[in-house]
Amino acid sequence: MADENEQATTTTTTSVEEPLDLVRLSLDEKVCVKMRNERELRGRLHAFDQHLNMVLGEVEETITTIEIDEETFEQIYRPTKRQIPMLFVRGDGVILISPLAKQS
């Protein structure tokens, strides 16, 4: 495992040989992070480790709460946004990470 990592970093820095390489390639780039509890983060990826603990800067957090209209029983999605200059994210809450530059 460690050997593979070394190989990947010494030979090419652009190839994705294991999933974490995709995150490595997103360092200093804007990423979208989907978290549990309907939270989504968009920010610059400053650092991460093997647990997907992350440090994100210039973050916009979007929390989506679902409310049910008492009369019509319709589901109402209510996004709440806030800005956070610097953020530590614990890896166990992470579902998905995607580099924003390549996102359509």
Residue (63 or 98) nearer to another protein, CB: 98
Sequence length of the chain is 104
Helix (H) or strand (E) holding 58: strand 54-68
> Measured from the CB of residue 25, what is the shortest distance to another protein in angstroms?
8
- Binding pattern to another protein, positions 17-36, x when CB under 8 A? xxxxxxx--------x----
Nearer to another protein, 51 or 80 (CB): 51
Q: How far is the CB of 97 from another protein (least distance, A)?
A: 4
| Nearest one of 57, 50, 42 to 88, comparing CA atoms | 57
Tokens representing 9? 């970093």
